[in-house]
Amino acid sequence: MTEEEARIIAEPVVRHIVDCMADRAYDRIPEYAALPAGISAAQLRNWSESYLMENNLRCFDHYGAPNHAPAIYEDTPYEQLNVYIYNDGAGFSAEYDLASDGELNDLILIVEFLYDENQNLIPHLEDIHVV
């Protein structure tokens, strides 16, 4: 699998998850990716909403909303979605830099796409953590 192929697979799943967060529809996230073991949609909602409140943020931006992130290098545009192919052939991960009000907010959404026993890629919300 190439990085471009992984991006094509990851983008709609990550889009749905980010948009669910922006719409505060956390209970819909399991429609798009399995939640981490022992974590419910309600717990994800509570943690996410607490983060917003503690940081005086109104909400999460929808997927692809314009933001003011600078390019890392002059000739390389900033990428909010990045994919990383696993060397062991187990699948890949996708990382998306979350934003609020057009500014990055220090959170990264990580979704793993792992092959099951039938060689189907299954998305798993792996983590949302502070950079």
- Quote the pLDDT of residue 74: 63
* Cβ pair 60, 21 in contact under 8 A: yes
Asked if pLDDT for residue 76 goes beyond 70, the answer is no
Q: For strand 121-130 and strand 81-85, is the pairing parallel, antiparallel, or unpaired?
A: unpaired
Quote the longest CA-to-CA distance of the chain. 45
Residue 85's identity, in one-letter code, is I
CATH number of 57's domain:
3.10.450
Within 1-131, residue ranges assigned H as helices are 3-22, 41-54
The total number of structural domains in the chain stands at 1
The answer, yes or no, to whether residue 127 has pLDDT greater than 80, is yes
Q: Give yes or no for residue 68 having a pLDDT over 90.
A: no
Q: Which of 11, 52, 49 is nearest to 32 (CA)?
A: 11
| Mean of the per-residue pLDDT values of the chain | 92
Mean pLDDT of 97-101: 93
**Structural domain boundaries, residue 110:** 3-130
Average pLDDT over residues 7-16: 98
